[in-house]
Amino acid sequence: MVAPGAGLVVAVRGAGMAAVSEPDRTVAAAGRWLLMIGGLVAAGVLGLAAVLSPADLAAGEPYTWFGVAAPVCPGCWLCGASRAFSLLLRGQLAAAGAANAVAPVLFVLDVGLALAGGVALVRWIGRCWSWEWRRSCSSGSPWSRCSSG
């Protein structure tokens, strides 16, 4: 008879830190990179909503920066979300709800993603440029060590 969990073996190193297999580190590193990229995109969306007025967004101002005509809105569930983000940043909750009913929830998620991505980026920069990391990195690419945790 096999005891429950007998197939699970965890190697312990240092002060109780569990060793993580290489595929797990790769998945974790990919997740951190996706979080950092998503956070930067979310921060960019918030930045555009802060800089541009709702009227500019309705007129398709960001499209003119690239010399492209603003597309006709197909009427999807995101219609008016950029205007609603701009209104939310200006404190006009009722007008934002009228522009898009889902936008307040999306706004909270966007702010959360921007903050989480910012924290992940700061932690990555701190890990990559710490003295201990530079001293312990004796061979190989330093960026592979940063991304693997």
DSSP secondary structure string for all residues of 34-63:
HHHHHHHHHHHHHHHHHHS-HHHHHTTHHH
Q: Mean pLDDT of all residues in the chain? A: 77
**Which pLDDT belongs to residue 132?**
61
**Which pLDDT belongs to residue 3?**
52
- Whole-model pTM: value is 0.65
CA dihedral of 32, 33, 38, 43, whole degrees rounded to 10: 90
The two tokens of residue 145 are 């060590």
Q: Which residue has the higher pLDDT, 140 or 119?
A: 119
**91-135 pLDDT, tens per residue?**
999 999 888 889 899 999 999 999 999 999 888 888 777 666 555
Q: How far from chain centre, in Å, is Cα 41?
A: 7
Decide if 143 contacts 131 (C-beta within 8 A). Answer: no
The two tokens of residue 149 are 């945790």
